[in-house]
Structure 1
Amino acid sequence: MPTYRDEVVVLRTHKLGEADRILTLLSRRNGKVRAVAKGVRRTSSKFGARLEPFMVADVQMYKGRTLDIVQQAESLGAYGADIATDYDRYTAASAMSETADRLNEAETTPQQYLLLVGGLRALARGDHAPRSVLDSYLLRVMSLSGWAPSLRECARCGAPGPHDWFVAQLGGIVCSACAPAGSPRVNPETGDLMRALLAGEWDQVDAASHGATAASSGLIAAYAQWHTERGIRSLSHLEAPR
């Protein structure tokens, strides 16, 4: 069928000609989609504002040979404006969108789409610290993509935990026998926080100390960077958790 409808998150945009944009979209049912939105940069455009980064929309598109064409767009989540006014929210949302783009080159699932929508909604509302929202998203989306980190048993030998070392290359927490020299050490509070971020236990996440939050963020970023191979450039713009 040449025309189809889907729910999408706008991951990024590029200018095309004088008035058009190329959009990279994460859709609920059709995976990652690249499409052209004609005339959206004109002030008279009816749906240009609905197709900005971090916006969620119900779109109708025409299936093209290389790029699909957006014919209609109705807003489902106008998160972009609230996110763009705050630096921490904006950089966290950028890292989330870039990660979604990296992980879904081949295919995606509705769960990955819903996870990103939920994360952007939480950022726009200010429900939790932006870096915590990002860290939780990274752990969950890596798990959905088949790279769930081991956060209790040793990732290498399976020895029951908890353990005191974290090695991204080996898959997460490891025991002292498996930890290479120079491996980052994980104190109990940091390990508990990482498990809470993965499980979405926000009362525990919000009550965590600055030290545990900063330490977990560094370990989670290293883990995500390792498994996405090309790295997540937006992470370099994030400020340390406050």
Structure 2
Amino acid sequence: MPTYRDEVAVLRTHKLGEADRIVTLLSRRHGKIRAVAKGVRRTSSRFGSRLEPFMVADVQLYRGRTLDIVQQAESLGSYGAPIVADYDRFTAASAMVETADRLNEAEATSQQYLLLVGGLRALARGEHRSRSILDSYLLRAMALSGWAPGLSECARCGAPGPHPSFVAQLGGTVCDGCAPTGAARIDPATSALLRALMAGEWDDVAAAPTAATASASGLVAAYAQWHLERGIRSLSQLTAAEASR
């Protein structure tokens, strides 16, 4: 059918001509979508504000040859304003949508859509620390893409853990026998925090020591960027802001 509907999260937008935008969307049933939203930059646009980054909408699209065309958009989650108003939320959300945009079509599943929407909602509501929401999202997004980190057993030989080393290239925590020279050592608190972030055990996440939180964030960032095969620009901005405090 040339016309279809879907729920979408807006990942990014680009100007097109004087009044239009190209929008990149992660949808619930159709994977990633690139579409033209005509006239949305005009003040009279009926749905321009619903197609900004971090927004969630129910859209009707017309299937085009190269780019689809947005015909209608109804808001499902107005998360943009509260996210943009806070720098930590904004940079965390930017890293999340940037990660979602890196997914190839085979990985852009309904589970990825629901995970992203849940993360954006949590950020907009300030349910947890912004960096912790991001770290949990990154671990789960990698797992849904087939790169679940080994956190309770050795990622290389499967020996039961927890283990004292973390190597992104090997897939997570590794035992002393599998750890290469110079492997990053992690303490029990950091190891426990990584497992809590993966499982969404937020009481344990909130109770984690500050040092463990910082250490876990660094490991999660390294792990995600290794598997994405390039840096996450927004993540580096968030890290720099935290280091300056």
Give the equivalent residue in structure 1 for 2:200: 200
1:240 aligns with 2:213: no
Q: How does 1:152-171 map to 2 (within 5 A)?
A: 152-171=152-171
1:160 CA drift (Å) = 1.3
Counterparts in 2 of 1:20 and 1:138: CA distance versus 1, 3 Å? same
Q: How does 1:129-148 map to 2 (within 5 A)?
A: 129-148=129-148
Identity %: 79
1:31 aligns with 2:34: no
Q: How does 1:168-187 map to 2 (within 5 A)?
A: 168-187=168-187
C-alpha contact (below 8 Å) 1:20/1:41 kept by paired residues: yes
C-alpha contact (below 8 Å) 1:214/1:240 kept by paired residues: no
Q: TM-score, normalised by structure 2?
A: 0.97
Q: How does 1:213-228 map to 2 (within 5 A)?
A: 213-228=213-228
C-alpha contact (below 8 Å) 1:119/1:133 kept by paired residues: yes
Q: Letter of the aligned partner of 2:8 in structure 1?
A: V
Cα root mean square deviation, aligned: 1.1
C-alpha contact (below 8 Å) 2:107/2:145 kept by paired residues: no
Could you list the per-position Cα deviations for residues 26-61 of structure 1 after superposition, in whole angstroms to 9, with x for gaps in the alignment? 000000000000000000001000000000000000
d(CA) in 2 for partners of 1:160 and 1:111? Answer: 28
d(CA) in 2 for partners of 1:186 and 1:85? Answer: 35
Any stretches of 5+ residues in structure 2 without a counterpart? none
d(CA) in 2 for partners of 1:106 and 1:173? Answer: 27
Give the equivalent residue in structure 2 for 1:15: 15
d(CA) in 2 for partners of 1:50 and 1:193? Answer: 36
Residue correspondences, number? 242
C-alpha contact (below 8 Å) 2:165/2:179 kept by paired residues: yes
C-alpha contact (below 8 Å) 2:107/2:144 kept by paired residues: no
Name the SS of the counterpart of 1:190 in structure 2.
helix
Q: Letter of the aligned partner of 1:108 in structure 2?
A: A
1:78 aligns with 2:83: no
Q: Letter of the aligned partner of 1:223 in structure 2?
A: Y
Could you list the per-position Cα deviations for residues 64-104 of structure 1 after superposition, in whole angstroms to 9, with x for gaps in the alignment? 00000000000000000000000000000000000001123
